[in-house]
Structure 1
Amino acid sequence: MTQDLIANVRGLNHWFGSGEVKKQALFDVNLTLKRGSFTVLMGPSGSGKTTVLTLIGCLRAVQDGSLQLLQNELRGASEAQLVALRRRLGFIFQAHNLHESLTATQNVMMGVQVHEGVAEQTAKAAAFHALGLVGLADRAGYLPANLSGGQKQRVAVARALVASPALVLADEPTAALDKDSAAEVVDLLKRMGTARGTTTLLVTHDNRILDRADRILTLEDGRIVKVEDRA
């Protein structure tokens, strides 16, 4: 795999359950994610989108097929290897998952503190810089209760980006946002792709953001049925 290929998925199959209730969720999924690209994964509920995301994110074990992430084969990888790779990724979810008792800065610092040996002042400076990138430097000391929905999600984006991950995995990050806030979040991720070479894979039902994608993958019943390149 070349340096510009962040993820290379080949013949990926996945099952849930066992015995008589065992059910196949993914069928021969193939996809690539190139450095700096913005890829959208679409499909109806239950099509397997989140399963793909969690497999690439090292949150599930690869059962069958090949999934190479950052030049590491995930099939057969140990838990220690998966943990080490997860620390090189950024995650954004529909629910912003902010700690209500922590300020915006403290929430973002958590994205740095997963790395061992990072001094608190270093983490704080990185968090404040990341909040500035998402336009929230003036909200650094605010608790989530005092932020709007769009601002909370931008804090979550800052937390995902603060450690300069090679890949950001976003699961329905704009679903609960109005049109302008959704556009802000996606544009931030696009800018990071251009400025830092950050790759984004975003799962969504949100048709409002499709015009910003470099590639759109459509998943139905566990199979990729359409690939649309827009870059």
Structure 2
Amino acid sequence: MGGEVAIAVRGLDHWFGTGEARKQVLFDVDLEIRRGELVVLMGASGSGKTTLLTLIGCLRQVEAGSVELLGRELNGASEAELVACRRQLGFIFQAHNLHESLTALQNVHMGLAVHGERVTGDGRAAARHVLGLVGLSERVNYLPGNLSGGQKQRVAVARALVGNPPVVLADEPTAALDRDSGLAVVEMLRRLGRERGTTTLMVTHDNRILDLADRIVRMEDGRIVEG
């Protein structure tokens, strides 16, 4: 796929722990993802997928090697620069992390606040629209306690997408969803790539959605072995 590079990882190494307990978990990782691509990252538990995702997502400090996100180098970036980068991202985690005291609609409003936007009339309309896209038009005023696990995850997806972020990072986003709901979410991410140029990097074990990916990248023992 042509177009500009959204994510560029070069020679990335990473360690956990200190002293004798220090353990290397990523080894010389190279990965390039272009604007609008939907890339699926696969591999066994402990292969380094989530660590790579958190480094790209400015949730951990890059220690060795290079990670460029939307043209900005993360190695050596200040905390203020990392915060600015995070505001460019939409995050979807396996744990939906919804605020239990807020309605579905209010939880999605939080997605705008994370991007530094005030929730105006346009923002409220956007939140309703994206909840409709994930099939929750009739649940906008429900509290999380009155939603199923799959519905909560769809609220989390809507929250990640409402600010129209240029990059979406997703860690097992379909794990709590039935087949049809999972396919619908990934199809929406693919459509955003085609229509808006949204770039998605998704960690998953869900074989049901692989056909929707533009590319599949596989990791083993902290290294990329395919893709």
Task: Report the TM-score, using the length of structure 1 for normalisation.
Answer: 0.93
Separation in structure 1 between the aligned mates of residue 122 and residue 115 of structure 2, nearest angstrom: 12
- The residue correspondences of 1:84-123 to structure 2 (distance < 5 A) are 84-116=84-116, 118-123=118-123
Instruction: Could you tell me which runs of 5 or more consecutive residues in structure 1 were left unpaired when the two chains were aligned.
Output: none
Q: Does 1:72 align with 2:60?
A: no
1:112-136 deviation digits (Å, cap 9, x = unpaired): 0124351444432221122122232
Is this contact kept in 1: 2:10–2:28, CA < 8 A? yes
Residue aligning to 1:143: 143
User: Which AA in structure 2 matches 1:59?
Assistant: L
Is this contact kept in 1: 2:87–2:116, CA < 8 A? no
3-state SS in 2 of match to 1:6: strand
Is this contact kept in 2: 1:109–1:126, CA < 8 A? no
Is this contact kept in 2: 1:55–1:62, CA < 8 A? yes
1:134 to 1:42, Cα distance in 2 relative to 1, 3 A: same
User: Which AA in structure 2 matches 1:113?
Assistant: A
Separation in structure 2 between the aligned mates of residue 89 and residue 200 of structure 1, nearest angstrom: 10
Separation in structure 1 between the aligned mates of residue 213 and residue 186 of structure 2, nearest angstrom: 9
Separation in structure 2 between the aligned mates of residue 178 and residue 67 of structure 1, nearest angstrom: 34
- The residue correspondences of 1:1-231 to structure 2 (distance < 5 A) are 4-116=4-116, 118-227=118-227
Separation in structure 2 between the aligned mates of residue 13 and residue 117 of structure 1, nearest angstrom: 35
User: Which AA in structure 1 matches 2:108?
Assistant: V
Separation in structure 2 between the aligned mates of residue 215 and residue 169 of structure 1, nearest angstrom: 15
1:86-108 deviation digits (Å, cap 9, x = unpaired): 01100001111111211111000
Instruction: Could you tell me which runs of 5 or more consecutive residues in structure 2 were left unpaired when the two chains were aligned.
Output: none
Separation in structure 1 between the aligned mates of residue 191 and residue 148 of structure 2, nearest angstrom: 22
3-state SS in 2 of match to 1:95: coil
User: Which AA in structure 2 matches 1:174?
Assistant: T
Separation in structure 1 between the aligned mates of residue 206 and residue 117 of structure 2, nearest angstrom: 39
Deviating more after overlay: 50-59 vs 193-202: 193-202
Separation in structure 2 between the aligned mates of residue 106 and residue 64 of structure 1, nearest angstrom: 39
3-state SS in 2 of match to 1:96: coil
Deviation at 1:191, TM superposition (A): 1.6
Deviating more after overlay: 149-158 vs 61-70: 149-158
Separation in structure 1 between the aligned mates of residue 73 and residue 107 of structure 2, nearest angstrom: 31
3-state SS in 2 of match to 1:201: strand
Deviating more after overlay: 76-85 vs 134-143: 134-143
Deviation at 1:192, TM superposition (A): 1.5
Deviation at 1:155, TM superposition (A): 1.1
User: Which AA in structure 1 matches 2:134?
Assistant: V
Separation in structure 1 between the aligned mates of residue 116 and residue 205 of structure 2, nearest angstrom: 36
Deviating more after overlay: 136-145 vs 106-115: 136-145
Is this contact kept in 2: 1:113–1:123, CA < 8 A? no
Structure 1 vs Structure 2: percent identity of aligned residues? 68
**Number of matched pairs:** 226
